[in-house]
Structure 1
């Protein structure tokens, strides 16, 4: 299930753009991925990697019957 964090970051950025009409938090048009500053790309990639790690841990954690997972 593991994916490349960079590809996940690009996907998340695209989906964010789709959800906001391709506007950033200021309401300005979003650049394409390649138009983002390296620092911004790195931030999206770090976020995507953190989500992936969390999801993989949640799916890998054994649970006892009736025990909630959060």
Structure 2
């Protein structure tokens, strides 16, 4: 929990809560279509938020786990 004062800590918690709130209705089969439609812009916004926070200037600035995570969640 030491990361909370940092802006990425808040973003991480917001993303976690958002994904958990989205996963729960899908698992129980409750109104999947609206959940999917809400999840798309949520995931896109999360992916767009990643860039200015991490500010990569070259390919070498990115680690393999960062790229995999961003691409997987952005698709």
Q: Same fold (TM over 0.5)?
A: no
TM range (shorter): 0.3 to 0.5
Q: TM-score, normalised by structure 2?
A: 0.37
Q: TM-score, normalised by structure 1?
A: 0.39
Pick 1 or 2: higher relative contact order, CA cutoff 8 A, min separation 6: 1
